[in-house]
Amino acid sequence: MSKGIGASYVNEKTKAYHMADFTDRMCLNLEGGKKASMPRYYKERIYTEEQRKQIGLIFKTQKEFALTIAKRRYQGVAGHSDYDRDTVEMHKAQFQKQIKNQKKDKL
């Protein structure tokens, strides 16, 4: 990996921007309003190791909370609490459909 690629992005102004709201700004804003995950080399230059650990914990907590909400909603709609089993079955069906379509495309 070349040293210094993207080094011009990390300066005091961009550090201040990302530090102002790290839960929503641990990404790069792209053209068209799209966002991309921040590359590790930017994270290491903007945040300390302790800050990266705290941010990781926040994201993990948010993800767990969103999953809990999804499970509760599913239980209310489906009338049972087999969210995990049904999710696995859904993924298996999607995978099998992909394989079937790939085989069809080869013919």
- pLDDT for res 93: 93
pTM exceeds 0.75: no
- pLDDT for res 103: 84
Which two tokens mark 66? 């969103």
- pLDDT for res 64: 93
List, in order, residues 6 or more apart from 15 with CB less than 8 Å away.
46
pLDDT in tens, 7-64: 788 889 988 988 898 777 888 888 898 888 888 888 898 999 999 999 999 989 999 9
Tracing tokens 């809990």 back to the chain, one arrives at 68
- pLDDT for res 3: 66
Neighbours of 42 (CB within 10 A): 19
Tracing tokens 């298996």 back to the chain, one arrives at 92
Complete DSSP assignment for 65-104: HHHHHHHHHHHHHHSS--HHHHHHHHHHHHHHHHHHHHHH
Report how far residue 107's alpha carbon sits from residue 103's, in angstroms, rounded to the nearest whole number: 7
